[in-house]
Amino acid sequence: MTKTSPLVKFIIWLVLSSAAGCGMVIMAIYLYLVPNLPDTEALRDIELQTPLRVYASDGLLISEFGEKRRNPISYADTPPLFIQALLASEDDGFFEHSGIDLKGLTRAAVELVRTGKKKSGGSTITMQVAKNYYLSSEKTFTRKFTEILLALKIEQSLSKEEILELYINKIYLGKRAYGIEAAAQVYYGRSIKDLSLAQLAMIAGLPQAPSAANPINSPKRAVDRRNYVLARMRNLDKISEEEFQQALREPDVARYHGPTTEVDAPYIAEMVRQEMVDRFGDQAYTGGYSVYTTVNSKRQTAASKALQQGLINYDREHGYRRSEPEFSLVELTPENDNPLLREWFAAADSRFDIDWPSTLEEWDNYIRQQGDFGLLTPAIVADVRKDGAWTYSDNGFLWLPFSGMTWARPYLSVDSVGQDPKNALEVVSIGQKIWLQKTANGLELGQMPKAEGAIVSLNPNDGGIEALVGGFSFSANKFNRVIQAERQPGSAFKPFIYSAALANGFTPASIINDAPVVFEDASLENTWRPENHNGKFYGPTRLREALYKSQNLVSIRILKQIGTRTAIRYVEPFGFDGKKLNNDLSLALGSSAVTPMELATGYCVLANGGYAVKPYLIQRIEDDQGTRLFTARPAVVCRDCDDTDDTTEAEIMQPAEAPLIATEEPDTFALAPTAIDAFEPTPEPTKAELDDALPIIPAAQVMDPRIHYLMVSMLQDVVRRGTGKRALALNRHDLAGKTGTTNDQKDAWFSGFSPDLVTTTWIGFDQPQTLGRWAFGSNTALPIWVDYMKTALEGVAEHPFEQPPGIVSVRIDPETGELARPGQRNAIFEYFRQEDVPTEVSPSEKNNAPGDYSTNEVIPEQLF
């Protein structure tokens, strides 16, 4: 029997002691860490941070907000080929191991002992799930041991498919994309289910270095990683040789795709964002809420284009503001001191002596920094000739012909422009920043308008916002003029004064003297001498005629007769703040500042039969599971409703967890009657079902139907024969509205409607200044309205305004407003409330011929 040498015994003892010591350390770590491990069952109900998404009423995406772009996808909906690519890249033994890879961990430990550096972590996908959902990214042994123990626990609680689903939805893949579906959208603009094999391999290879080696930041590294994943798939026989070779040859087309917005409505998106933050705080950005608005995507798109084109047209009419060149072409320089090379450069034509890579790099940086400006695209002039210019934009080099610049007469002042340009050299210069616009006539020179505008379109039957654009470009200026800009509406406010007059004894045939007046009022700083926009006076005028001709002095006189306080009390229920309305006669001319939204709200009453509605934007809010949290309950025009609903605003805004259908006994719910032998409790109704079952809230009627009909008929005459004639281009008979222009043409308005849609447009400068001598509501704001309504009412049948009982039509003398004489040839028909029909017959000859009030010889009437 041989004796074991003392050295061998020592070595054996040392190994056993070390193993025992390691075992005790591991046991101690295990006993220390296990009690603190989280419950992995909670992973089944984990809530991933997903962004806030805003949709139009038809489900098209308007915008999304949140630091993390995420689109959760189920394991069942994930392409099997992607699963194979992911496992080949990250963990090919995933379906065999129990959560940890002993071989990989051992290899990592040996590398750490041998080199002193951590080269590989030996992490499995399960371990990465444990780290991503529960642990930090700190590199400590305690964190690693906890990760291993958690992985083992997760494997006991969840199936392999559930673990993979958690992983593919949580993992960061660069460019704010979390999860594979978000990454597919960010890099390729498509769903993961629509990607090719090469693209799937690209996404599968991103987890290793998502920021440094994604196909946008580092295309070459990303393609190398993609090819490695493909090679691994081939070695594991997951793809054929033919598939492998074809995928290797496929060029990568990845580029950054921002949020895939389908509707251009940034001002709407910002309104929703502010409302959601008010309701949910910072959780609004991470809770995965989906907000469905009242916005009609077709009308919203039309509104954006109409407003932009209208502002561009106005700006062009006032001339081109040429800017100085800001960029220079980078010229080539000799790389050494060769005299012959220097001599060649000196003699070379400078037009062809350009370092284009360096030049375009600078230009690209500028273009990338520009936002979205809708119809206009930023560009830089690269070369100019007489017949046009080469320009550089995000679409590369584009030829801008001189025919697209002929409009560019130099701007001299708001009322004058210079001569027509003779060639392109007179318009643009090399290195100049310009704007381009694609039109039906080809590429044209554009210009960023200095004037601003707004357009808002409401459903008059419930106040739903159908379209809203708060300015030319949200990228250039986030000020929302629809709800923030308070401007004088001018004559666009007159319909409300006329409505008050009709409710206080006036008729459309009432005769008012359109003659000069002067005011000496203590509330006014100076003597006020109002006049009509053309400086003329028309003498005795019927109320109807005065409205469609927009005669200021008639408006002042009728307001004087009914009283400003009476008028304010009358129009307040239309949606105006009475405290903001001027309590003096200037109210008749629209001197009280209102927002376009407030004016449109008032016009809803004129469009819907006399009912007050409030604008609203959010139809419903859903959580990330599709559960409805909020449903709007606006007051709705209901002509057949007799009973009113006393539901309070607090009840309308109740949270989803509020008690539902409670019976007399607390904490119980009503049960539907069932057969005794098959008695089963009825499932508790969802909030969505309860919301849908609630009765409507009838809108309050604030205008007599007969007054409403008279007012609408007068506003229809504004379109048929007055300042709103341009609206006749729509070839409809159910349109009405009113233009508005303020003093010195600082604001131009048109508010018009059909029974189905109310739209208000406004144009002006943010810092009030004149739009020009010839700028009026009729030729500046109205064309935008017409352009928009052409699309907005497409396919909408004409809907005549119904004549209510108590309205009669009689023949009158147009000069006196009294009943026409038998056989009178110039008699016209006029509408009256039955009790307001004239009783006197017009005399056969007028006692007084209408005077000429157009001269300054007439002594103004003093009104105090």
From 588, 589, 608, select the one nearest 458 (Cα to Cα): 608
Distance, in Å, from the CA atom of 728 to the CA atom of 708, rounded to the nearest integer, reads: 22
What's the full length of the chain, in residues? 864
Distance, in Å, from the CA atom of 130 to the CA atom of 127, rounded to the nearest integer, reads: 5
The answer to whether 547 and 722 are in contact (CB under 8 A) is yes
Question: Any catalytic annotation for residue 491?
Answer: yes
From 526, 499, 61, 93, select the one nearest 300 (Cα to Cα): 61
3-state secondary structure 354-374: ECHHHHHHHHHHHHHHCCCCC
The answer to whether 227 and 220 are in contact (CB under 8 A) is no
Distance, in Å, from the CA atom of 781 to the CA atom of 742, rounded to the nearest integer, reads: 13
Distance, first Cα to last Cα, the chain = 136
- Phi, psi (5° rounding) for residue 169? -95, -15
Q: How far is CA 420 from CA 2, 192, 384, 641, in A?
A: 116, 54, 18, 63
Residue 9 CB neighbours (<10 A): 11
If you write DSSP's letter for every residue of 574-599 in order, what string do you get? Answer: GT--GGGS-SSGGGGGT-S-B-HHHH
Name residue 696's amino acid. I
From 596, 262, 305, select the one nearest 439 (Cα to Cα): 305
Q: Please give the distance of CA 632 from its chain centroid, rounded to a whole number.
A: 19
Distance, in Å, from the CA atom of 195 to the CA atom of 184, rounded to the nearest integer, reads: 8
Distance, in Å, from the CA atom of 460 to the CA atom of 609, rounded to the nearest integer, reads: 9
Q: What is the four-CA torsion angle of 671, 674, 680, 684, rounded to 10 degrees?
A: -30
Longest dimension (CA), the chain: 154
If you write DSSP's letter for every residue of 273-342 in order, what string do you get? Answer: HHHHHHHHGGGGGTB--EEEES--HHHHHHHHHHHHHHHHHHHHHT-B-PPPP---PPBP--SS--HHHH
The answer to whether 526 and 586 are in contact (CB under 8 A) is no
Both tokens assigned to 625: 């599971």
If you write DSSP's letter for every residue of 763-810 in order, what string do you get? Answer: EE-SS-----TT--IIIIIHHHHHHHHHHHTTTPPP-PPPPPTTEEEE
Both tokens assigned to 448: 């960023």
Residue 793, exposed/middle/buried by CB under 10 A (0-12, 13-18, 19+)?
buried
- Active-site hit among 123, 491, 713, 751: 491
Question: Any catalytic annotation for residue 89?
Answer: no
Q: How far is CA 314 from CA 726, 774, 781, in A?
A: 16, 11, 10
Q: Please give the distance of CA 834 from its chain centroid, rounded to a whole number.
A: 48
Distance, in Å, from the CA atom of 288 to the CA atom of 266, rounded to the nearest integer, reads: 19
Distance, in Å, from the CA atom of 517 to the CA atom of 504, rounded to the nearest integer, reads: 23
Long-range own/partner contacts, residues 32-37 (CB < 8 A, 24 or more apart)? 33/142, 33/145, 33/146, 33/149, 34/149, 37/146, 37/149, 37/150, 37/153
Distance, in Å, from the CA atom of 812 to the CA atom of 808, rounded to the nearest integer, reads: 12
Which residues, at least 6 apart from 701, have a Cβ–Cβ distance to it below 8 Å? Answer: 609, 610, 611, 612
Distance, in Å, from the CA atom of 521 to the CA atom of 862, rounded to the nearest integer, reads: 11
Distance, in Å, from the CA atom of 777 to the CA atom of 408, rounded to the nearest integer, reads: 24
- Active-site hit among 63, 64, 89, 90: 90
Q: What are the residue numbers of the active site? A: 90, 491
